[in-house]
A = this chain, B = another copy of it.
Amino acid sequence: MPLHITLIEQLKNAGHRMTTTRREIIILLSECTAPITAMELLAQLKKRHRAVNKTTVYRELDFLQAQQLIHVVQFGEGHKHFELAETEHHHHLRCIKCERVEDVHVDNELRLAERQIRKKSRFKIMNHSLEFFGLCVQCQ
């Protein structure tokens, strides 16, 4: 079962309306190989001849975030990037030259770090954001 079908069913079952735009945005997000900004999403929709208003895109992203179906990734340059939360938790390698983003998993190492932090500072960690910047194989 493709991921976007599951998500669409999930929303319907939770009693939410499934509009053409919402469906299209979910499909688009499920096809993304890297986190995408609101404006990039808007451009993609236009490309597919579904010219929606930017307000709608922002509101839809808010909605999907509230439903915990997507989450925010923040890179150094400033704009929020969104990706489906359904995908396994991971981190990103961002090439500073070609801007390409790869996924990477280093949670075992991080868990160690989190345990230390909890012990040392009594800070209760709920979430974290880890991004690496450097050069990908092609750009080195």
Contacts and interface: CB of A to CB of B under 8 A. Distances in A.
* A interface bracket (residues with beta carbon within 8 Å of B): 35 or more
Interface stretch (A12-20, A26-34, A47-55, A119-127): A119-127
Interface in A58-78: 72, 74-76, 78
A102 interface: yes
A121 B104 contact: yes
Number of copies: 2
Contact of A102 (B75, B79, B121, B126): B121
Contacts of A128: 130-133
Given A102-B121, A123-B134, A127-B133, 4 more contacts: A109-B116, A124-B135, A125-B133, A128-B130
Interface of A: 72, 74-76, 78-80, 93, 95-96, 102, 104, 106, 109-110, 112-114, 116-117, 120-137, 140
